[in-house]
Amino acid sequence: MRRLEVGAITASAVPVDFAPDAPPVAVIGAGIVGVAVALSLRRRGVPVVLIDREGPGAGASHGNGGILARCAFIPVNTPDLWRTAPGMLLSRDGPLFVRGAALPRLAPWLWRFLANATRGRAETVARQTAPLLLDSLDQHLALAEGTPAARFIRPTDYLYLYRDRAGYEADRFSWTLRRQAGMTWTELDEAALRAREPDLSGARRFGVALPDHGVITDPGAHVAALAEAFADAGGQSVRARVRAVEPDDGGVTLHTDGADIRAGHAVIAAGAWSDALARPLGARVRLEAESGYHVDLAGANGGPRHPVMDAARKMVVVPMEGRVRLAGLVEFAGLDAAPARAPTELLHRGVADLFPALRHDGATPWTGPRPATTDSLPVIGVLPASARVVAAYGHQHVGLTAAARTGRMVTDLLTGRPVDIDLAPFRPDRRG
């Protein structure tokens, strides 16, 4: 591959060619973000080829918590992280895990991540991220409209659970940021919480009900259904691993583990695997793979009626189609790390504490990497090496929530339409 001259980033992409025989836009990654980009482009009449080494929804898009969490624009690295991180690491029920063997490699990323844990930075990140998430339910309904994927979207309230009102008051910083973004909610005392969730134990006696959220009742099937809609609209799919992206004046060559693919443009939406493709093209954002965990409890009963977030453990318990899913936690171990037992055991202890009467027909664990940036902002925009290559990755815990809007924004960017959100904070050439 020839050496690429990487210069200053441009705000606009080279517009796509709508001619029937024009080279396609190659979307790399068939997770929820990549599929949303591909389907949105195809609906605008753009020729598209969707490329993934495993197929639609095989990674974090299958394994996520399934919540369209419009409230989740608060960064993980809030200003109290310096105080709370040691306790989270040392506590048996702490939601944070770091593998010692990975620390030498992780150290530069972790240092930048902690350096961003300031009040001012958290306020800025929340303000910049909120527009990506606040209308997520409507964005997903629009993306799925007229497709079998629509049946998996269920509007719902989202409940945050606290041990008592004091726990909620201690979380005042996050709730203040949500109120500043225009969000409203209902506070639930013990009686009101029990009316909403009759099977909840006395371990949580205060809650908050957030309206206008949603649940994807089968995330993997939902992504697969959207991918089928993309195929029905004339989109092409290729099963391959992309090794490198090489733009030139006339288009982009994708070097894969099979034959090279020639395209007019490329969109890098490969989640935690995006860094290896985007960094040679001028991306400077530090990206790390953060392991996410879930446990599916088949045929569960005696669990929650709404998706709930246990604020102390940072885990969610979500009623889905045919099962209840336990998900959440943060583990830094590396992109190809094998699953650990401790996070899964914590999820089991957590649900037993919250819903002691819950019974099920079997538990199935899963783990997979999420793409995490040091500044808690995704990477969306044109890459410095070429106005023909666009980044759409690094969404951390909100990839599902932000996917539909990201797909629309990338489509606007490539088709020359105004993007209704300022993309400057998400620039691929920022330092992070």
End-to-end CA, the chain: 28
How many alpha carbons fall within 13 Å on the CB side of residue 141? Answer: 10
Q: Whats the size of the chain, residue-wise?
A: 432
Domain boundaries, the chain: 78-128+155-215+287-373
User: Token digits for 226?
Assistant: 């959207």
- Report residue 92: phi and psi, to 5°: -60, -30
How many C-beta neighbours within 10 Å does residue 11 have? 12
pLDDT beneath 50, residues of the chain: 1-3, 8
Provide Rg for the chain, Cα atoms.
21
* Strand pairing class (186-188; 251-256): unpaired
Separation of alpha carbons 131 and 102, rounded Å: 34
Q: What class does CATH assign to 78-128+155-215+287-373?
A: alpha beta
User: Token digits for 282?
Assistant: 């001028």
If we measure between CA atoms, which residue out of 401, 409, 360, 355 comes closest to residue 380? 409
CB 286 within 8 A of CB 295: no
pLDDT tens string 250-285: 999 999 999 999 999 999 999 999 999 999 999 999
| pLDDT for position 116 | 92
Place of tokens 């441009």: 10
How many C-beta neighbours within 10 Å does residue 422 have? 9
Separation of alpha carbons 95 and 106, rounded Å: 18
How many C-beta neighbours within 10 Å does residue 187 have? 13
User: Token digits for 20?
Assistant: 């029937």
Give the DSSP letter of residue 167. H
Separation of alpha carbons 244 and 280, rounded Å: 9
Separation of alpha carbons 348 and 51, rounded Å: 36
| pLDDT for position 43 | 97
User: Token digits for 170?
Assistant: 């201690």
Please name every residue paired with 373 in a beta bridge, in sequence order, or none if there are none.
287
* Strand pairing class (206-216; 186-188): antiparallel
Separation of alpha carbons 280 and 9, rounded Å: 14
Separation of alpha carbons 124 and 102, rounded Å: 30
Residues 318-343 as b/e (b if ≥16 CB within 10 A, e otherwise) read bbbeebbbbbbbbbbbbeebeeeeeb
User: Reduced to 3 states, what is the DSSP secondary structure of residue 299?
Assistant: coil
Please list, in sequence order, all residues whose beta carbon lies within 8 angstroms of the beta carbon of residue 399, skipping any fewer than 6 positions away: 31, 32, 33, 60, 61, 64, 271, 370, 371
User: Reduced to 3 states, what is the DSSP secondary structure of residue 117?
Assistant: coil
User: Reduced to 3 states, what is the DSSP secondary structure of residue 293?
Assistant: strand
User: Token digits for 216?
Assistant: 């994807």
Separation of alpha carbons 200 and 197, rounded Å: 6
